[in-house]
Structure 1
Amino acid sequence: MNRLELPALSAAQVAALLPDAPDGVEWRSVEWLGMGSDHHAFALDRARVLRLPRWPGGGEALRREARLLAWLAPRLGGAALPEVLLLGDAGPRVPEGFSVARRVPGRSALGFALTDPVALGGGLGRWLADLHALNPQGSGLTVDLDPSGHDWRDVALDDLEAAAGAGVLPEADAWAARVRDIPDLRKVVPAPIHGDFAAEHVYLDGQGRLSGVLDWSDAALGDPARDLAGLIHWGDAALLAAARVAYPAAGPSCGAVWERAAWYALCRALADLAFGLTGGAAGGQEAYLRAGRRALDGLQVWWTNAPIPP
């Protein structure tokens, strides 16, 4: 079902919202950063980020995310998390309100040339293992599972159709067969997950080390394979191999969790291609197209010895 997108605001309009901010939160400049699937983002004085929901209902998602980040901060180390400083009230121009958070240090790993993928992969694997092992009591997280996989499949096929129609997806029929070959999701044990763990939400310092993880709006009690898909989606074989060593997925279900992760990674790659055709930060569309193609190349290697289903 199509949703009615909320009107976008200019940097000047966002600046006009800020005089009502409480004492102790200061800013001198407002600069548009870009558009994600759920938010418009603006830099405030280069030290903070303001996010505006794109869709009705996004205000509650911002408030839920702020509560989760406050819960996670003392429990999850190894990477900085956004610290929400302000939740702005709804108003005529911002019917869902807005949030202001301290900016996560570093830069997005989307398109980042990795200097030490083995060290980074090990760090990401350990960090995800710590997240997935958290006791969710008190987190406010709700269960988000699709045992049929049909929701993921249907969205991925729509994205595939858009990418193929634009001429950015060779061998579309073969990839469509992969999408339709849904792994067994019926016995998944839910765990705390980031929910949208991909390179653009992972921040690295100047030496290419993990420095922060942002955008927790899709966090849930869900399939850990959804986060592991981000490691496959990255498209770096050395990073993935190190992460698999560091992530303690052992026992009879080990192969199953990575099989699910590869399928989710395919769905994510197709979403990148579709998003790269229509959105993202100014000049950033090509970065998403490159990320999607790189992920598909990695998945092609992943499935080299597995026949594409009929």
Structure 2
Amino acid sequence: MYEVDFVLPRRHRERFWPELLCATPSPRVVLDSPERIVGGVDAWIVQTWAILAQKHGQERVRLVERGEAGALCVFHYDHATLRNGVHLSYSVVVRADRPPVPLADTVIEQNPAVHENRRVRYIPHWPQPGLIPRNRSRGGKIERLAYVGSDMYLPAYMQTADFKDALAAMGVEFVHMLNGNWRDHSTVDVLVAARDVPACVLEVKPASKLVNAWMAGVPIILNEEPAYEALRESPADYLSAHDARTVLSAVNLLVSDPETYAAMVANGDKRKVDYSPENIASAWDDLLLDCSRRRRENGCVDKSRRMICYWLSKLYNRVWIVMRRWHD
């Protein structure tokens, strides 16, 4: 058994979740509002708290505004600060797609290619909440190719008339699923995802687009990224492409070869089981049980020493960001 506090500062609640400002916030508010779970804090902190509190009870899984001395606390990177008490508690910090974590007893990484050790643990990102799968009555017809991801990553070639005209010649329409509008896959036949960012950013990105494609029952075309490569077990997991020519070639393969399309859908049905909310909740349980045991073994924290470590790490991060040319 474990008891854990998920840290969600008041400012975030006031802006995005005013219903959670009460003394006993209800997990159902979150679980019944999947369309509001868009950002990393909502996905990693608000959603995880809601799922585990619904499973274990709010006496054991609490939502707090600040980490307290001696408690087991889960923070998102953005809120893992001295102001929010990261130095006071046994701190579990979700790095998400951020630079190295300045201070944490345990760091949660979302990229399956990460090297795990006593301090670093991998937990899969939750699948898209409220995801609407492809309508299976569409069969093998391919009429819509959807780009999924932030518009800041939309490759230039996908915005050209030549690219869209080439798809139209195959009877395929190109559509955007942008800025959090990632739930409804009911009329999507193929997905494509790509982004042009530094390698250090790709090292921390999750495999969410691939897992969500499996959940949706939609074949996906992807750039090679560490997270996707780490999960790949067969060619049926996804098709690889890196420019307009290879994306169009992959779409043409799926249009002209219904057996390949059907095989990828069937493969996704098998792969998605490992990334169900139930299995991810169990992974969280295992992690928090281990952290609870280690918290008891470690005893009291040295607050002054941890504050110094925090500021030294913050200085290191500034150098790291410049040297690695980090941008996201």
Please, what TM-score do these two structures have when normalized by structure 2?
Answer: 0.27
Question: Highest CA radius of gyration, 1 or 2?
Answer: 2
Please, what TM-score do these two structures have when normalized by structure 1?
Answer: 0.28
